[in-house]
Amino acid sequence: MKAAALLLAGSMALAACASDEDSGGSANGGGGDSGGDLRIGLAFDTGGRGDRSFNDSAVAGLEAAVEEHGGEFRDLSPSADGSNRVDLLTQLADEGYNPVIAVGFAYGEVIGDVVEQYPDTTFAIIDSSAEEVGADNLTGLLFAEHEGSFLAGVAAALKSETGHVGFVGGVETPLIQKFEAGYVAGAQAVNPDIVVDTQYISPAGDFSGFNDPARGQIVAQGMYDAGADIVYHAAGGSGVGVFQAAAASGGRAIGVDSDQYQTVDDPALQAVIMTSMLKRVDNAVEAFIGEFVDGNVSGGTDEVYDLSSEGVGLATSGGFIDDIQGEIDDYRQQIIDGEIEVATTP
């Protein structure tokens, strides 16, 4: 009888433990925590935490959401070649994190299979469409990068003293080509005769271009040597190399995603960053988590952050574009009003 009682007590304890784990990690309908504290999982893009750009912006939104709603989060970084992206998402889901956020379009190739395996977990993906996947537990967080980049091109053309500017892309993909297309269009809107050099650090499929500052510096240095005086980068962690080339050449640079004037440590690099094209990944991540907590996630849809919603824009830190702000605002309003339609491809 004593043995039976001990076995019964043990089985009840195990059942209680299993129940606690289940309640902490599954979605309830269209979102919301079904029990216990909020536990958020985040899978980084290439470069991971500390890129001072795209990934760090996502972290900022995550931290703001946890500060507001409580709970905890865990973030994971992909391997150098990105071959373990599926493993990162499944690990977070298996460990009960919910929601799980995939940072970067590279996850778009694999997330469809993952969300199907975890129908009770709510997922979001940045820079890839959920509508194309068609799963009701996935939300796409998209941005009008071409609109913000148009304003970066306007600023570059207005500030250029040589009539020659440049663009450095991290990886030659449709997403980064949106940055290029907007930037070139904005520069040409101000000066139809402006010369715009464009080059990518790595070809499609090779994501190393987002985390190779040395190569970013070489590419940008070639543009400065050829006569460009302002170079805009959409290259993630490689952008530091662009800033280094600008400082060495006496030129200027335009950052991306975060306000990079505020994120670099070296005053010499800070001095060359005349503005940054802000892609408010932080706002999108924070808003999505808030919708999840409130149970208002609309799965299977895309949320687009553009100029009208202040999802993209230009940073003003340092005061380098204060004297042309009026002209930038005029172009911004024309885009919002539909008077200017910005191309998404070069």
- Which pLDDT does position 309 carry in this prediction? 92
pLDDT tens-digit readout, 78-107: 998 889 999 999 999 999 999 999 999 999
Distance CA 331, CA 322 (A): 15
Share of the chain above pLDDT 90, in %: 83
The string over 200-223, giving b where at least 16 C-beta atoms fall within 10 Å of a residue's C-beta and e elsewhere, is bbbeeeebbbbbbbebbbebbbeb
pLDDT exceeds 50 at position 206: yes
Among 229, 171, 162, residue whose Cα is nearest residue 199: 171
Q: 265 or 256: whose pLDDT is higher? A: 256
Share of the chain above pLDDT 70, in %: 90
Distance of CA 246 to the CA centre of its chain: 24
pLDDT exceeds 80 at position 219: yes
pLDDT tens-digit readout, 10-60: 433 333 333 232 323 333 333 333 335 899 999 999 888 887 778 999 999
Mean pLDDT, the chain, as a whole number? 89
What is the value of pTM for the model shown? 0.83
Average pLDDT of the segment spanning 292-308:
95
> Structural domains in the chain?
21-144+282-305 (3.40.50.2300), 145-279+310-336 (3.40.50.2300)
The string over 92-104, giving b where at least 16 C-beta atoms fall within 10 Å of a residue's C-beta and e elsewhere, is bbeebbbbbbbbb
- Which pLDDT does position 24 carry in this prediction? 31
- Which pLDDT does position 21 carry in this prediction? 29
Distance CA 111, CA 103 (A): 11
- Which pLDDT does position 48 carry in this prediction? 84
pLDDT exceeds 80 at position 6: no
Write the single-letter amino acid at 104: G
Average pLDDT of the segment spanning 243-261:
96
- Which pLDDT does position 209 carry in this prediction? 95
- Which pLDDT does position 53 carry in this prediction? 78
- Which pLDDT does position 59 carry in this prediction? 94
- Which pLDDT does position 12 carry in this prediction? 35
